[in-house]
Amino acid sequence: MDRPTPKGNWVERLKTDITPAHADKLLYACCLCSGLVDSTLYNGNTIFVGLGASNQNPRPYGWARSLTSIGCFILGCFLFARLNSALGPRQRGTLVLTFFLQTAMLIITAALVQSGAIPGIRRLAGDGAETEWSQEAPIVLLSIQSAGQIVASRALGYNEVPTVVITSLLCDLVSDPKLFILQNAKRDRRMVAFTLTLVGAITGGWITKATGDIYAVMWLAAGIKFVISMAWMFWEEDEKA
């Protein structure tokens, strides 16, 4: 006998597993968010840690921002993975919760920058090389929320759309032995993911230039994440679960 779909009881509905079919469309939106966030000032990577350690980074303690970003990304992956394991990686409630958490982190970051509690472009422009330790807060939030995306992509079975790591995505794209075959779903997903990440970064750059600060980009990314969160509420149930 087929299991009845709990249409009226939202609590029971949140306990159901969603079908991963077509979920790559929501992951594409995550790629767009990654591009938007990457266009802001609050990002760092491994190379800046190395430059800072060898005293070649012209910005004092710039390596600390990068180290914070890397460390918090690792922490975010650990926490979101454990949360998925505890609640069920494809459970509707898990996806709604994890993406609402990501949305909340983006909202907090946007609010901090817009309120002036965290320096945006205008304040940094006049500060020269002065170290703004308050920027560690948005770095922590943005790094952890970005980890939630890649954990979700793995849970949904779309490893070819990591949503945050462009270099590995491009490596997998050009290394694909079926790269030039007409029908290749994984190649197509990688190309769309890369394109949307690039579009997000360019869009974020133009928005920042037009507004003179980055909080508008953060609000836009938060809005996209909120829509994704709500989409999981109405996503089709996995009848095979």
- Distance of alpha carbon 49 from the chain centroid: 22
- Locus of tokens 């994440």: 225
181 within some domain: yes
Question: Which pLDDT does position 68 carry in this prediction?
Answer: 85
Copy the structure tokens of residue 13: 């509905």
- Based on the structure, what is the number of domains in the chain? 1
240 within some domain: no
**Which one-letter DSSP state was computed for residue 235?**
S
8 within some domain: no
Question: Which pLDDT does position 137 carry in this prediction?
Answer: 86
Q: Give ∠ CA 178-147-53 in degrees, rounded to 5.
A: 100
Residue ranges, the chain, pLDDT below 50: 1-6, 44-54, 56-57, 122-128
241 within some domain: no
C-alpha span between 47 and 54 (Å, rounded): 11
Copy the structure tokens of residue 227: 């829509």
pLDDT tens-place string over residues 146-197: 999 999 999 999 999 999 878 888 899 999 999 999 999 999 999 999 999 9
221 within some domain: yes
C-alpha span between 74 and 151 (Å, rounded): 11
Question: Which pLDDT does position 46 carry in this prediction?
Answer: 38
Question: Which pLDDT does position 212 carry in this prediction?
Answer: 86
The four Cα atoms 134, 136, 137, 141 give a dihedral, to 10 degrees, of 160
Question: Which pLDDT does position 101 carry in this prediction?
Answer: 97
14 within some domain: no
53 within some domain: yes
Question: Which pLDDT does position 213 carry in this prediction?
Answer: 86
- Distance of alpha carbon 50 from the chain centroid: 24
DSSP 76-143: HHHHHHHHHHHH-TTBHHHHHHHHHHHHHHHHHHHHHHHHTSS--HHHHHTTTT---GGGHHHHHHHH
13 within some domain: no
The reported pTM is 0.85
- Distance of alpha carbon 133 from the chain centroid: 23
Question: Which pLDDT does position 8 carry in this prediction?
Answer: 56
Say which CATH number the domain at 148 has: 1.20.1250
Question: Which pLDDT does position 6 carry in this prediction?
Answer: 47
Question: Which pLDDT does position 41 carry in this prediction?
Answer: 60
Bridge partners of 91? 17
Q: Which residues contact 236 (CB under 8 A, 6 or more apart)?
A: 18, 19, 21
pLDDT tens-place string over residues 225-241: 999 999 999 999 988 76
Question: Which pLDDT does position 53 carry in this prediction?
Answer: 47
C-alpha span between 140 and 42 (Å, rounded): 9
Q: Which domain holds residue 60?
A: 20-233
**Which one-letter DSSP state was computed for residue 212?**
S
